[in-house]
Amino acid sequence: DTEVTQTPKHLVMGMTNKKSLKCEQHMGHRAMYWYKQKAKKPPELMFVYSYEKLSINESVPSRFSPECPNSSLLNLHLHALQPEDSALYLCASSNGGAGNGYTFGSGTRLTVV
Amino acid sequence: TQLLEQSPQFLSIQEGENLTVYCNSSSVFSSLQWYRQEPGEGPVLLVTVVTGGEVKKLKRLTFQFGDARKDSSLHITAAQPGDTGLYLCAGGADRGSTLGRLYFGRGTQLTVWP
């Protein structure tokens, strides 16, 4: 299995809702990432998990809460989002090391209404 | 602060033309990676270069890593409409316990017209 699987593919939520994005990989990668991407812009790093521990939080608002239940799973819990949080949310994994690239999922297209 | 400066930001060319995209930085990276992204999908890794001066070829695509490991270029020969997409360069930096931190350039939106 050489894929990163993200669910759901599309999500519409109200500003008072609570929802979660899920990400799964079975490549044995030791690092997992959440990125946010606006249209025609590069991905912006949100969180990095190394060896299942949160190692980077890029000053993300607390309405986004990451969770890494095990080495294969990564969740992003959403609560009280704003319309400007609407974006493509990408999960990626890698083994780190200079020669290893990221494997990205297809993303969750989030719309906050 | 943008660690990686990517140029041009937009490129619109005719089928059959050649093009080069540049990625420059004042920082040294352990690797330089190139991704291609289509609308609504995640970026797909094209190549990783790790050695200064390294050149890699992938069919009509040629990737080069600068001798000082601060810059890279992507050259496409005889572009085709299927090459259309957002091309992203990304510098890799492993520091301490943080694995595989990537710094992305702003991207080059390439459109190839038939």
Q: What is the pLDDT of residues A5-32, one digit of tens each?
A: 999 999 999 999 999 999 999 999 999 9
A51 contacts in B (CB within 8 Å)? 97, 99
Predicted confidence at residue B28, as pLDDT, reads 87
- Residue A77 confidence class, pLDDT cut points 50, 70, 90: very high
**Span between the terminal Cα atoms of chain A, in Å:** 36
Mean pLDDT of A66-71: 95
Q: How far lies B22's CA from each of A42, B32, B107, in Å?
A: 15, 12, 10
Q: Are B45 and A95 a contacting pair at CB < 8 A? A: no
Predicted confidence at residue B97, as pLDDT, reads 45
- How do residues B76-112 score in pLDDT, each as one tens digit? 999 999 999 999 999 887 655 456 678 899 999 999 9
CA distance A44 to A101: 16
Mean model confidence pLDDT for chain B:
90
Q: How many CB atoms lie within 10 A of CB B67?
A: 11
B107 contacts in A (CB within 8 Å)? 40-42
> Residue B1 pLDDT more than 70?
no
**Structure-model confidence comparison of residues B96 and A86, the more confident one:** A86
8 Å CB contact between B109 and B7:
no
> Residue B30 pLDDT more than 90?
no
Mean pLDDT of A61-78: 96
Mean pLDDT of B7-12: 96
B94 inside 8 A of chain A by CB: yes
